[in-house]
Amino acid sequence: MQQHEDYPEPPTSAQFRTTRWSVVLRAGAEQLSPTNERQALEELCRTYWYPLYSFIRRKGHAPEAAEDLTQGFFLQLFARNSFVLASEERGRFRTFLLCALNHYLTNQWQMTQRQKRGGGSVILSLDVALAEARFGLEPVTTDTPERAFDRRWVEVLLGNVLARLRAEAEADGEVDRFDRLKSYLVEDRGESTFQEIATSMGCTEAAVKGVVRRLRARFREALRGEVAHTVASPDDVEVELRHLIASI
């Protein structure tokens, strides 16, 4: 992704009333937890659970222990309405979640008793086998668990955006074209040159470049929308984007 390109305007303050993390924060501020607020938190956790699991594994926990700790964390998060402690000053769901997880892991280390495997409620369905396969493919790195967490967060975020755009392309009957050009959405150079793509598609290079420009504009718009669901206000979108870009 080209960092120098401008992003479209963020959602308005009115629109932010309905972004997922803003809904959760509003519930916390008003000490309410109706169904839509719980659903908003569940959706966020369901989307971004893998970076948490990966973080726990990088802290040295074995797969079974990491699964227990991830489920235990979610159980505590929902049972205690921990989001009530969140505030707009903390702002970002990513930051809140990592701080809460670190606090939970510290408490678990200090406890003399541990919940037996399978003895508690399952809050989210976690595909741990797939997570372990994915974790095994992560590169060996000197990154701290916190920095690796941010990288995994970006991967999930970009994966969500690309999946959304592919679904849109499929609905328009243009999924083949999207698959050929999607690498240009996250990198300056694609897997093939514009001329090679134009030849294979039977069109001009200028036409291909025009399609890529439109896809990039839609990509930036969708990316901002995805980030907006994890921050408290429109002002936080740009800050969060810059942080996430810097992390990769």
- Whole-model pTM: value is 0.76
In contact, 65 and 42? CB cutoff 8 Å:
no
Considering the chain, what percentage of its residues have pLDDT values greater than 90?
39
Token pair, residue 197, equals 């793509």
| CA separation for the pair 22, 198 (Å, rounded) | 43
In contact, 87 and 25? CB cutoff 8 Å:
yes
Per-residue confidence (pLDDT) for residue 139, from 0 to 100: 82
Supply angle C-alpha 108, 109, 113, rounded to 5: 65
Q: Residue 237: CB partners within 8 Å, gap ≥ 6?
A: 10, 11, 224, 227, 228, 231
Give tens-digit pLDDT for 150-170. 999 999 999 999 999 999 999
Residue 11 has pLDDT above 80, yes or no: no
The mean pLDDT of the chain is 81
Per-residue confidence (pLDDT) for residue 160, from 0 to 100: 93
Residue boundaries of the structural domains of the chain: 13-114+123-247
In contact, 186 and 158? CB cutoff 8 Å:
yes
Average pLDDT value for residue range 216-244? 91
What 8-state DSSP symbol labels residue 111?
A: -
In contact, 11 and 19? CB cutoff 8 Å:
yes
Model confidence band, residue 8 (pLDDT cutoffs 50, 70, 90): very low
Give tens-digit pLDDT for 104-151. 998 876 563 444 444 456 667 788 888 899 888 888 888 899 999 999
Give tens-digit pLDDT for 86-100. 554 456 889 888 988
In contact, 20 and 44? CB cutoff 8 Å:
yes
